[in-house]
Amino acid sequence: MQQPNGLPDEIDLSRPSAARVYDYFLGGAHNFEIDRKLAEQIAAMTPNLPATMRAGREFLRRAVRALLDAGVDQFLDIGSGIPTVGNVHEVAQAANPKARVVYVDIDPVAVAHSRELLAGNDLTGVIHADLRDPERILAEARRLGLLDFDRPLGILLAGVVHFVPDADRPGDILATLRAAAAPGSHLVISHSTFEDQPQEMLDAQRLSARTATEISLRSRAEITGFFGDWTLLEPGVVHMELWRPDSPSEVAADAQRFGAFGGVARNDRPAG
Ligand SMILES: C[S@@+](CC[C@H](N)C(=O)[O-])C[C@H]1O[C@@H](n2cnc3c(N)ncnc32)[C@H](O)[C@@H]1O
């Protein structure tokens, strides 16, 4: 069943959606009045948040470009949200029109909007799945037939691993994903941290721990551990803005203000 605007019936447009609020912060067009109202309220409470989201998106764009430069032409983007402004398939297909992208998200609203947005783009696919079930993600991705797991793959985990608490064993999840990727594959991670953060930010995080969207802040060492034995590319795991900025002179002195580290690593394991 579909609503007049083409969205499936299970998408409730009378309530705000986190995915559409995020889309609004990024300047996307896939949001409604009710989402914009909530976005304005959130922005009033946490003025840094929209800039943080944009910085995360910019990091992802630079990382995807670096992977394209390294010859990667297929991407598994987990926790993709609504593929909005500067989304991965646009960045990738601008550089390589044959690039393939499979988007994965747990949020049915993000998935429905993604399907609507990507209808007609044969080189992209959308999977509704949970990062905490990586075997299912890999099985569904294989079933879609868009990605070739015998060739280098870009696995993108931008702003999502911090939604997986330690009790759900994120290290094991990452190991499963890495094990499925051929030599020459790359892993991109951005992840919230408590390192270098002021007390107010940590207090706010403690409050958010009482809501449904609890975030696990982790240290640089823990985040680095998610790359396993893959080779970290320069400059390593750093505050997002410091990862290969387009114009190094424009990076703010307080690059730690977004409270998230970013890094990219390559699978140099010999084939076989
Ligand atoms: C902060 S947004 C990041 C969006 C995009 N990757 C980016 O960097 O712009 C986090 C996304 O992760 C999704 N997410 C949260 N937990 C997830 C899980 N366990 N499995 C899959 N996706 C998840 C949310 O629905 C949301 O769309």
> What digits encode the pLDDT tens for the residues 10-53?
677 788 887 888 889 888 888 999 889 988 887 877 777 788 88
Task: Supply the pLDDT for residue 111.
Answer: 93
- Residue 158 Cβ contacting ligand 1 at under 6 Å: yes
**Which CATH code fits 48-266?**
3.40.50.150
For residues 220-255, one letter each, b for 16 or more C-beta atoms within 10 angstroms of the residue's C-beta and e for the rest, the string is bebbbebbbebeebeebbbbbbbbbbeeeeeeeeeb
- Structure tokens of 76? 């598994």
User: Considering only 16-25, 55-64, 99-108, 243-252, which range has the smallest mean pLDDT?
Assistant: 16-25
> What is the Å distance from ligand 1's center to 78 Cα?
7
- Residue 107 Cβ contacting ligand 1 at under 6 Å: yes
Q: What is the pLDDT of residues 121-177, one digit of tens each?
A: 999 999 999 999 999 999 999 999 999 999 999 999 999 999 999 999 999 999 999
Task: Supply the pLDDT for residue 6.
Answer: 58
- Structure tokens of 225? 């551990």
Task: Supply the pLDDT for residue 1.
Answer: 47
Q: What ligand 1 atom has the least distance to the C-alpha of 77? A: 6
First to last CA, the chain: 47
> What is the Å distance from ligand 1's center to 70 Cα?
25
Please name the amino acid found at residue 92: A
Q: What is the pLDDT of residues 239-268, one digit of tens each?
A: 999 999 999 888 888 889 888 999 999 999
Q: What percent of the chain has pLDDT over 90?
A: 60
Mutate which of 106, 127, 215, 261 for ligand 1? The one with the most ligand atoms within 8 Å of its CB, which is 106
Task: Supply the pLDDT for residue 13.
Answer: 77
- Residue 60 Cβ contacting ligand 1 at under 6 Å: yes
**At what angle are helices 33-45 and 49-69 packed, to 10 degrees?**
100
Mean pLDDT value across residues 55-81 = 96
